[in-house]
Amino acid sequence: MITTHTLGFPRIGKKRELKFAQEAYWRGESMVADLESIAATIRQQNWQSQKKLDFQTVGDFSFYDHVLDTSLLVGNLPKRTQSDLPELDQYFQAARGQTSKAVEQTPVAAAEMTKWFDTNYHYLVPEFAADTDFELHANRYLSYVREAKQQGVNAKPVLLGPVSYIWLGKSKDDSNKVDLLPKLLPVYSALLAQLAEEGIEWVQIDEPILVTELEDDWQQALNQAYLALNKAPVKLLLTTYFGSLKTNLRLACELPTAGLHIDTLNAAEEVVDVISHLPENKVLSMGVINGRNVWKTDLNDLVAGLAPIHNRLGDRLWLAPSCSLLHVPVDLNSETDLDAEVKDWLSFAEQKLEELTIVATALNEGRDAVAAELAANAKSIAARQTSSRVHRNDVQQRLQSVTDDIANRQQPYAERTKLQQAKFNLPMYPTTTIGSFPQTTEIRQARQMFRKGELDFPAYQGKMQAQIQRAIAEQEQVGLDVLVHGEAERNDMVEYFGEQLEGYIFSRFGWVQSYGSRCVKPPIIFGDIARPKAMTVDWIKYAQSLTDKPVKGMLTGPVTMLNWSFVRDDQPRSATCLQLALAIRDEVQDLEKAGVNIIQIDEAALREGLPLRRAEWQDYLNWAVRCFRITANGVENETQIHTHMCYSEFNDIIESIAAMDADVITIETSRSDMELLDVFNAFSYPNEIGPGVYDIHSPNIPKVEYIKSLMEKAAQRIPAERLWVNPDCGLKTRQWAEVKPALQTMVEAAKQLRQQH
């Protein structure tokens, strides 16, 4: 018999119950017992959903993040958290600097947060030093195991493996963190022994670093770790996900564990190799249902493909989703008003578990046992494959006509800049902002009423135009050189465009955890992308009609649209990106035709799309940059293209950033003291740059001297003629009362710089 399980399940609850409970607790509006009780309900529901599987996963629930849970478990919360507080409050202090407002405390620095592999989930970075010691704090973890057992759950606890745990952390004193492993292993061994005492047979231990390029010392660390942990009185299922094993394949197969899980969606071509290298006594768990997207699996195809493997492996074959289901929305059944045709093609976490059991039953008992389910699935798969909403002739024809030519500007930057200078006649150190202005309650309310049909379009348009008037008036008063319309009509930089493009749909409850209590609801690209009509032109034209200063047109770029959406699995990401690029290219050209001659195309998520393995970076960067260029470069020489990126790591991708060939790039720099510009300098980055001069995440108003000193540092690295002055990012999360003085200061600094020049 095949064994079924999942590597993890979403912990947020079907309607984001955990978020609301966490935030109420943090605001001091509820007791810890309320929070604990909602959490227990979510765990119980999750185990209930997994009842149809052979194992139910325990230990995947988290009050914030599973890496921080591991820090708690091994006694490695940052020392600055207040040790006289209850454990959960210390944990929240580590996560967010403070716990419930109702608890007396001194705020501490929160731990650093970073992306979990190539997902949009963020974890809290463990902190290490040479003298870091570990100590088992298993009360909470074991209480979940007992709670599960009380509910009759066949518990398979999950742990983040010790080597990945260390790999994911950061050494604070430059010591070599891998040296900490011998101190950490006894803690894991002790925990495994306690789990055995609780009657646990199998423990899932995640070592996702096995899909990355590992240096020798990390490979050795894995050997050392599993040689030690293998002595524990439980069976270990070593799991890998998000990628293929490549040079780590033999290592993963041969580590002394009782089983190995591989992500067969990302490592399809390695299955045969893994099976042949896997020792005869080991279980192979195949991750066959995609845990990273929202599409139904072709179950008939999967059953057919698995049948020979099942014959060969027999009981040694386990089946699971490819990775934890943390990365997909919880339940498609919550979506009551989703387009019925597209809904039939979708599968969220709950549905993915059903798919898994259908496949296992078909293999264990024969297809007849699930004939109806398989037939229904075949129907959905066929409908999607042949739908004219997915495959559009007009889009396909347009794609055929794409040539490399359309990715190029007519003249190189050096020529364009002269024409643009003559046209716009901007001063040295021109000032601008990144696009959005404060999203006031007034704006949100109007948008909501419009959505609900309580405001008709003319009324809504009037309200938004009033906001644009305000934004333009404020900017003129402040004396900025290049203005923006303020993005009042946009609720989100991807959703706003996705809603106007064909090929996209939006769920209502399709939330996925991003970090802590924060969730995102990525739109779903289901079909060929087309733009039925202009999306931004009227708003920008209106803004331009109010002022003689140039107003920038504001767009989200194709790569960011792609990286922040759930995408099709029936064509490569690059193909979907190209469709987006063509649609947004048309918008760029429409803006230009409407007399908008400065156009910003935001690519906030370009870096996020980088593959896990460096060897694959260039390929991604090539098509991503080409898509950006196709979007941007269909304009006249005089039209100035801006792009914006709000992160501060350009070292390893500077060549591609330059290849985008935007006339102006604005970036986040204020917190790096302009050192970030070193790489632009070293590369002799040829075009204009607007290094952010103040941190928009903070309510503090910068000082003129501070901005001037930053710009002087910038001018040591980039010729002053090519510098712009702007904030780090958009201002939508700030208040006007903060924005205005900050921008006034910024403009004053620019004026003084011009005088000095």
- Min CB(730)–ligand GLN separation in Å: 2
Shortest approach of ligand GLN to residue 338 CB, angstroms?
A: 27
Does residue number 729 form part of the binding site for Zn ion (CB under 5 A)? yes
Beta strand 524-530 with 502-505: parallel, antiparallel or unpaired? Answer: antiparallel
HSE (side-chain half, CA atoms, 13 Å) at 471: 33
Q: Which two tokens stand for residue 435?
A: 């696009």
Residue 52 or 470 with smaller CB distance to ligand GLN = 470
Q: Which residue has the tokens 């057992």?
A: 149
Q: Which residue is nearest to ligand GLN (CB)?
A: 730
Please choose which of ligand GLN, Zn ion, none residue 727 contacts, taking the beta carbon within 5 to 8 angstroms, the exact cut-off set by kind.
none
Nearer to ligand GLN, 93 or 433 (CB): 433
Binding residues for Zn ion, how many (CB under 5 A)? Answer: 2
- Token pair, residue 478, equals 């402040």
Scanning 205-213, 261-269, 321-329, 721-729 for contacts with Zn ion by CB under 5 A, the matching segment is: 721-729
Nearer residue to Zn ion within complex by CB, 590 or 668: 668
Cα(499)–Cα(83) distance, integer angstroms: 48
Per CB under 6 A, residues contacting ligand GLN are: 434-436, 487, 493, 554, 602, 604, 644, 646, 729-730, 732
Which of the choices Zn ion, ligand GLN, none does residue 553 contact, using the CB cut-off of 5 to 8 A by kind? Answer: none
**Whose structure tokens read 């941190």?**
695
Rounded CA-CA distance 457/468 in Å is 16
* CB closer to ligand GLN out of 59 and 558: 558
Instruction: Tell me how far apart the alpha carbons of residues 521 and 508 are, in angstroms, rounded to a whole number.
Output: 8
**Pairwise CA distance, residues 551 & 497, whole Å:** 19
**Contact between residue 42 and residue 139 where contact means Cβ atoms under 8 Å apart:** no
B/e letters for 189-203, b = 16+ CB within 10 Å, e = fewer, are bebbebbeeeebebb
Per CB under 5 A, the segment of 234-242, 246-254, 411-419, 726-734 that binds Zn ion is 726-734
Using the rule CB under 5 A, give the single segment among 58-66, 486-494, 646-654, 705-713 that binds Zn ion: 646-654
Q: Nearest residue by C-beta to Zn ion? A: 646
Of 5-13, 405-413, 437-445, 644-652, the window that binds Zn ion (rule: CB under 5 A) is 644-652
β-sheet bridge partners, residue 665: 643, 689
Q: Apex CA 181: angle with CA 178 and CA 187, to 5°? A: 155
Is 642 known to be catalytic? Answer: no
Q: Which is nearer to ligand GLN, 351 or 560 (CB)?
A: 560
Using the structure block, give the residue that is written with the tokens 């608890």. Answer: 103
> Which residues from 183-222 bind Zn ion, rule CB under 5 A?
none
d(CA 508, CA 339): 11
Whole-angstrom Cα distance, residue 141 to residue 157?
Answer: 9
Q: Which is nearer to ligand GLN, 221 or 554 (CB)?
A: 554
| Stretch binding Zn ion (CB under 5 A), from 117-125, 315-323, 480-488, 725-733 | 725-733
Stretch in the footprint of Zn ion (CB under 5 A) among 59-67, 385-393, 458-466, 643-651: 643-651
Provide the token pair at 729.
Answer: 């990012």
Across 32-61, b (16+ Cβ under 10 Å) vs e yields eeebeebbeebbebbbebbeebbbbbbbbb
Given Zn ion, ligand GLN, none, residue 657, with its beta carbon under 5 to 8 Å by kind, binds none
The least distance separating ligand GLN from the CB of residue 493, rounded to whole angstroms, comes to 5
C-beta separation of 318 from 284 below 8 A: yes
CB 346 within 8 A of CB 295: yes
- Which of ligand GLN, Zn ion, none has residue 297 at its interface (CB below 5 to 8 Å by kind)? none
Partner touching 208 among ligand GLN, Zn ion, none, CB below 5 to 8 Å by kind:
none
What is the C-alpha separation between 120 and 566, in angstroms, rounded? 11
CB nearer to ligand GLN: pick between 63 and 437:
437
| Position among 349, 543, 567, 646 found at the interface with Zn ion (CB under 5 A) | 646
**In the complex, minimum distance from the CB of residue 531 to ligand GLN, in angstroms, rounded to a whole number:** 19
Q: Of 96, 14, 85, 30, which Cα lies nearest the Cα of 63?
A: 96
Find the catalytic residue in 310, 642, 697, 757.
697
Min dist CB 518 to ligand GLN, Å, is 14
> Residue 160's binding partner, choosing from Zn ion, ligand GLN, none, with beta-carbon cut-off 5 to 8 A by kind?
none
Alpha carbon distance 240, 287 (integer Å): 9
Q: How far is the CB of 608 from ligand GLN (least distance, A)?
A: 11
Closest residue by Cα to residue 151 from 63, 17, 38, 48: 48
Q: Dump the DSSP string for 731-752.
A: -TTS-HHHHHHHHHHHHHHHHH
743 lines the binding site for Zn ion (CB under 5 A):
no
Residue 491 DSSP class: S
495 contacts 506 by C-beta, under 8 angstroms: yes
Shortest Cβ distance from residue 622 to ligand GLN (Å)? 23
Residue 696 Cβ vs Zn ion, minimum distance, rounded to whole Å? 8
Stretch that binds Zn ion, among 33-41, 296-304, 689-697, 723-731 (CB under 5 A): 723-731
- The CB-of-506 to ligand GLN minimum distance in angstroms stands at 19
Q: x/- contact string, 676-715, with Zn ion (CB under 5 A)?
A: ----------------------------------------
557/184 Cα distance (integer angstroms): 45
612 binds Zn ion (CB under 5 A): no
Q: Which does 331 bind (CB under 5 to 8 A by kind): Zn ion, ligand GLN, none?
A: none
Query: Could you tell me the two tokens for 421?
Result: 């200078």
CB of 692 to Zn ion, least distance (A): 8
Q: Which does 6 bind (CB under 5 to 8 A by kind): ligand GLN, Zn ion, none?
A: none
CA–CA separation, 510 and 348 (whole Å):
8
Applying CB under 5 A, which residues contact Zn ion? Answer: 646, 729
- Mind telling me the catalytic residues? 697
